[in-house]
Amino acid sequence: MTKKNSLDIIYLMPKSLSLFFEEVGDTSRFAGRFLREIWFPPYEFKEVLRQSYEIGYRSLPLVGITSFIIGLVLTLQSRPTLAEFGAESWLPAMVGVSILREIGPVITALICAGKIGSSIGAELGSMKVTEQIDAMEVSGTNPFKYIVVSRIVATTLMIPLLVIIGDAISLYGSYLAVNVNDKVSISLYFQQVFEKVQFSDLIPSVIKSVFFGFCIGLIGTYKGYNTKKGTEGVGRSANSSVVISSLLIFILDLIAVQITSFFGLI
């Protein structure tokens, strides 16, 4: 296909479709630049640690409360259905597998997309429109490495940790819900959970949460770093960071389920 024909195809595309492919291309180049920059000095270890604290520790209360409620509600809602079949003893195993495989990683990632993605998009967008990023370039600092790389690395590291902690809190909430109707010791409850949970349930969950964290950081920094149209653009960057990150989480989760199913892990 000649260059002229390819340009004709682009011109014939609907504007929204051409903008979509342009956005995908720009995001891919942005991700490629991150993968190049991460390997070369200077390494911003202090900034990575600071961002890890901001992203991980400050998000923990929200993740913990939400995870606790999810475990509690899921158990209370599932019990009547299992009771109809006399299968209440399966409740800990069913809730445990559901939380560890699917509900915990996805819900935690969506919470972080809303809190962290919007925060990164708004923060970098404000820095862009107030020309702070341009000032860093003039002063000889690499703003991409200091601002973008540190935040993506922090989200990639912290989201899996938040998922693991959130899963543990969800299981504890489930244990309390079980004790609303039955008296079960915590050791017996977790024994029933881990009798049915295998490494094939945990490993894919942790791996896909790493990709969830990478996407949240990537989209938030990309949207903020490329903010336009003044303060109005800051709001758009924060909003689009949340929407696109949430959509990518569902897409990645679908891909992860298909891969684990193909290899017989579920």
Measured distance CA(34)–CA(141) in Å, rounded:
16
pLDDT, block means (10 residues), the chain with 266 residues: 50 66 87 89 86 91 94 88 77 88 92 91 88 81 86 94 94 89 83 82 88 94 86 85 93 88 67
Nearest by Cα to 244 from 140, 131, 118, 122: 118
Measured distance CA(166)–CA(107) in Å, rounded:
9
User: Strand, helix or coil at 43?
Assistant: coil
**Polymer length in residues for the chain:** 266
**pLDDT in the model for residue 109:** 94
> What predicted TM-score, i.e. pTM, was given to this entire model?
0.87
Nearest by Cα to 113 from 221, 23, 244: 244
* Alpha carbon 240 to its chain's center: 15
**Angle of the 118-129 helix axis to the 199-225 helix axis, nearest 10:** 20
Q: Which amino acid is at 42?
A: P
Alpha carbons within 13 A on the beta-carbon side of 121: 29
Give 220-258 pLDDT, tens digit per residue.
999 988 888 777 888 888 899 999 999 999 999 999 888
Alpha carbons within 13 A on the beta-carbon side of 266: 17
**pLDDT in the model for residue 264:** 64
Alpha helices in the chain (DSSP H): 3-12, 15-37, 45-52, 60-84, 91-98, 104-112, 118-129, 132-138, 143, 150-181, 186-196, 199-225, 230-262
**pLDDT in the model for residue 265:** 59
Burial of 194 (0-12, 13-18, 19+ CB in 10 A): middle
